[in-house]
Amino acid sequence: MVLLILYLAALHAYSVKTSTQLPNTLESVYIVSPHPFPEVEDFVQLSIDTYHLDLARYARSMRQAFEDYLHDKSHVKAIFVGTRRTDPHGATLKYFDPTDRGWPAFMRIHPVIDWHYAEVWTVRPSHLLMRQKDPTDHL
């Protein structure tokens, strides 16, 4: 959710600065857990509806899901990732990193790589957008 809110805020700022129209939908990808909680699925659907997401769902391993996604959306060259430096395998990441060998090729963008746990949890849609009810309120 943090990445989506940051992206929406950046899109809005860019749109205002350049008088560019915002897109009608935002391409996004969701790798479905083998046993998703109903609350997660409800939250995903609420996010689709609230933020006009064009969501591609893949119920596969992460590697296979990204391979399929990039096959289906061949124009995609980079994907925002929410990894932080304190997460497993995050210590040596940079803001921009190509995927590791053996993975489908795309640029990983890590905008919150140096954020701390508390910073992540203080970002909420209602604080940045102030336009609608925050869909994370019930979580």
Burial of 113 (0-12, 13-18, 19+ CB in 10 A): buried
- Domains with residue ranges and CATH for the chain: 2-128 (3.40.50.620)
Burial of 69 (0-12, 13-18, 19+ CB in 10 A): buried
Burial of 93 (0-12, 13-18, 19+ CB in 10 A): middle
pLDDT for 126 equals 54
The per-residue pLDDT string of the chain (139 residues; one tens digit each, 9 = 90 and over) reads 888 888 988 999 999 999 999 999 999 999 999 999 999 999 999 999 999 999 999 999 999 999 999 999 999 999 999 899 999 989 999 999 999 999 999 999 999 999 987 887 777 655 444 444 544 454 4
- Residue 127 CA: distances (Å) to CA of 43, 52, 60: 18, 19, 34
| 29 Cβ contact partners less than 8 Å away, ≥ 6 residues apart | 55, 56, 57, 58, 65, 66, 69, 79
**Distance between CA 61 and CA 34 in Å, rounded?**
9
Is the Cβ–Cβ distance between 135 and 47 less than 8 Å?
A: yes
The C-alpha R_g of the chain, in whole angstroms, comes to 16
pLDDT for 69 equals 97
